[in-house]
Chains A and B, each alone.
Chain A
Amino acid sequence: MALPRHASTLERIWHYTYLVICALIFLFLIAPILIVIPLSFNAEPYFTFTDKMLRLDPAGYSLRWYDLLMTFGMGKPDAVRDAAWWADFWANSAWLRAAKNSLIIGFFSTILATALGTLAALGLSRPEMPFRRAIMAVLISPMIVPIIITATGLFFFYSWTGLANTYTGIVLAHATLGIPFVIITVTATLVGFDHSLTRAAASLGATPQTTFFKITMPLILPGVISGALFAFVTSFDEVVVVLFVAAYDQQTIPRQMWNGIREQISPAILAVATILVVISTLLLTTIELLRRRSERLRGLSPG
């Protein structure tokens, strides 16, 4: 939005003020996320920039918090770093165990949410779907209902069915929370879907299965993958349900962070945060590339 030549002085001043305001808001959005990265390399146990850090003195920076992250929970953290140390690390490191749990739970809940969600989105995007609006409202509701209510309900339900303190219980709960995202992204992809393609395939003799895997699937795949990534992130970032229904040894990364923030907040939390920021940047890039590919496939944008 370039300023026209005939703009008055007042308009010019306002225009630049407006740009400055926008820049400040962008700073507000992004600064809190970027600030943790340099601070996680702090050599001191503080949450602020020390003089040495500001002078860019290498002595002000260290990897000690990342090291603490690895060794936390280990039997002999100070031993020589040989094979035995790494075995100890693999078996006992608290954060590594949390990461393993997060990945396992995230993986299975994503598979479940994506499979069920994609199937349902295919049905929901058909014009002849009965009670479309009401069913859609029910399926999206896990995203809208406050997480504390869902967690409380699940707590009662799981202690009744015996799913409390099981991986199955957490996976089912996380799949439920991820499903709305899958539905939203996949139905969005299906909006521009040309149904004459499937009819063409059918008229050429393809079975419904062949049509689905050869025609429909490749076209909606970008949407399905972004839905899956959303579902994974939802699970990977979820803490309240885990707090309510998981056993102590089923700690996930957010759960471990929660403990860290509530009890003794140390820059080690910032090291975790930095790693998570890197992961979310990668995810965002993937989503963005997928979105562009999807738009290109459906001919929505020239790029």
Chain B
Amino acid sequence: MAAQPAPGGLTTVDGRPLKQALAEAQARAKRRAFVLVLPLLAFILVSFVLPIGQLLKRSVYNPAFSENMPALVQWFRENPRGSAPDESAYAALASDLKLIRKNKTAGIVGTRVNYELPGTRSLFTKSARKARKLEPPYREALLKVDRKWGDPLLWQVMRSASSAYTTSFYLAALDRKRNADGEIVRVEKERQVYIKLFKRTLLLSALITVTTLLLGFPVAHLLATLPLRYSNMLMIFVLLPFWTSLLVRTTSWIVLLQSQGVVNDLLVATGILDADHRIQMIYNQTGTIVAMTHILLPFMILPLYSVMRPIDPSYVRAARSLGASSWTAFRRIYLPQTIPGIGAGALLVFILAVGYYITPALVGGSTGQLISNLIAFHMQKSLNWSLAAALAALLLGGVLILYWLYDRLVGIDNLKLG
């Protein structure tokens, strides 16, 4: 005789409703899975996401001026944008100059203003040195120290720097600045570097993606159509570069392509080139393109291969038997089936190429530098860390959009290594 179902629906042996018991068991399983992931998630949040967050903060936050010039910050707060600096403003400036002289922070403040108005760092250090002798009326006294103190543009820059939170580094990273009236304008022609470099980075990355596709497609096709025992053997040609140190591969290209290198020697020995007309193939854009194509080629071949391998050859055979030429069969039947692989490989190569640093730095010369190299330059040489952070944030934004696209179209689960 079948058991009578309880009035409230099905129950477990100990009398709890089945629905609730199931939900509890599922929640427990969920928790258990999550607990396994938790340590790593916490680790990545602290060791990776937090530093990136700090970088983003650094790109909009620079307290060098606001922390050290309290009186002037106060004056800017009380007087709205557009009000001309009066005697009280100059008095505030004079008291702050005395303060930065005492705290020895004139260099820090001057550097901050100098980022936006070149040539003003020395103005601050010089005036701070003479600050003790300043007497009212301060306006005349300061203008006597340096006429630049009357420049409305300088006052505009100081006003924008008086807030620790600023967008001026993003403006600078996009070749923009504020003029004396606070409007956003483009910087002078000869100082426009960043947009050009962003464009060059995108262009070179696209070019490298295309060359890796052109070189990777035939090879992946060959590997996918050969019997496994041959293709596994030939796969070594793809995987060995993949496993070899980046610096080794870059060094090899320097050795091969330099003007006294193997390729030039070969061309001269075979009489193609005249000994006096060796081609400059390294330390310029050509060097960057060749070396990066070589380094990123495995990232194109592997996704292509994993899509091409399971394609059933009978489709192409069927097309041929129905009268299609081999070109038509390839174009109409085979190529459409490889689109997911092309998409995955191209996106991956492009994402990696956009942020490349080491290879362009070593073989790029001056024309083969990418945006990453400029970030490194501002971090290590010019020490304008906020600008470096703003450039990095813009690059990061672009890469994350591409990454999101990759996840949507390909899925990160399908990322394969060898």
Contacts and interface: CB of A to CB of B under 8 A. Distances in A.
Interface of A: 1, 11, 14, 18-19, 21-22, 25-26, 28-33, 35-36, 39, 46-49, 116-117, 119-120, 122-124, 126, 128-130, 133, 135-142, 144-150, 152-158, 160, 172-173, 175-176, 179, 181, 184-185, 187-188, 230, 233, 236-237, 239-240, 244, 254, 257-258, 261-262, 265, 269-270, 273, 276-277, 280-281, 283-284, 287-288, 291
Across the A-B interface, give the 8 residue pairs with the lowest CB-CB distance, nearest first: A146-B355, A123-B36, A153-B51, A157-B51, A32-B252, A120-B40, A123-B37, A1-B225
Contacts of A29: 219, 237-238, 240-241, 294, 297-298
Contact of A138 (B41, B237, B252, B261): B41
Interface stretch (B27-35, B78-86, B129-137): B27-35
B274 interface: no
A267 B244 CA distance: 18
Interface string B220-254: 00100110000000101111110111111111111
B54 interface: yes
A303 to B, nearest CB: 8
B396 interface: yes
Contact of B33 (A129, A137, A276): A129
Interface string B179-201: 00000000000000000000000
A73 B243 CA distance: 29
B328 to A, nearest CB: 13
Contacts of A32: 241, 249, 252-253, 256, 294
Given A18-B222, A146-B399, A258-B358, 17 more contacts: A22-B218, A28-B215, A36-B255, A128-B26, A133-B412, A140-B412, A142-B44, A149-B392, A157-B50, A179-B44, A237-B245, A237-B247, A240-B357, A258-B247, A261-B247, A261-B250, A261-B251
Contact of B30 (A129, A185, A236): A129
Interface of B: 26, 29-30, 32-37, 39-41, 43-45, 47-55, 58, 215, 218-219, 222, 225-226, 234, 236-241, 243-256, 258, 260-262, 265, 294, 297-298, 326, 351, 354-358, 362, 372, 375-376, 379, 385, 388-389, 392, 395-396, 399-400, 403, 407, 412-413, 415-418
Given A120-B36, A146-B356, A291 B219 contact: no
A132 to B, nearest CB: 9
B245 A149 contact: no
A284 B236 contact: yes
Contacts of B30: 128-130
Given A30-B237, A140-B412, A148-B357, A273 B44 contact: no
Given A139-B40, A287-B418, A149 B355 contact: yes
A140 B48 CA distance: 11
Given A47-B260, A184-B417, A280-B243, A146 B357 contact: yes
B241 A122 contact: no
A269 B238 contact: no
A270 B251 contact: yes
Contact residues of B: prevailing secondary structure: helix
Contact of B244 (A117, A139, A276): A276
Nearest to A284: B243
A107 B118 CA distance: 47
Nearest to B222: A22
Contacts of B53: 153
Contact residues of A: prevailing secondary structure: helix
18 contacts: A32-B256, A35-B262, A46-B260, A116-B43, A119-B37, A119-B39, A120-B40, A126-B33, A130-B34, A138-B41, A146-B399, A149-B392, A152-B389, A153-B53, A237-B246, A261-B254, A262-B362, A277-B244
Given A39-B255, A149-B392, A261-B254, A156 B54 contact: yes
B257 to A, nearest CB: 9
A193 to B, nearest CB: 14
A254 B359 CA distance: 13
A272 to B, nearest CB: 8
B416 A122 contact: no
B36 A277 contact: no
A116 B40 contact: yes
A83 B413 CA distance: 55
A284 to B, nearest CB: 5
Given A18-B218, A26-B234, A135 B48 contact: no
B236 A139 contact: no
Contacts of A122: 36
| Max count, chain A CB within 10 A of own CB: residue among B33, B246, B326 | B33
Contacts of B379: 152, 155, 244
Contacts of B388: 152
A122 B35 CA distance: 10
A39 B376 CA distance: 32
A240 B355 contact: no
Contacts of B52: 145, 149-150, 153
A188 B48 contact: no
Contacts of B39: 116, 119-120
A133 B414 CA distance: 12
A35 B244 CA distance: 13
B49 A138 contact: yes
B273 to A, nearest CB: 14
B224 to A, nearest CB: 9
Contact of A11 (B244, B326, B392): B326
A49 B362 CA distance: 23
B292 to A, nearest CB: 13
Contact of B412 (A130, A136, A185, A280): A136
Nearest to A182: B40
A141 B297 contact: no
Contacts of A156: 51, 54-55, 58, 385, 389
B392 to A, nearest CB: 5
A21 B376 CA distance: 39
B262 A48 contact: yes
Contacts of B355: 145-149
A133 B237 CA distance: 33
A152 B39 CA distance: 24
A26 B358 contact: no
B254 A265 contact: yes
A257 B215 contact: no
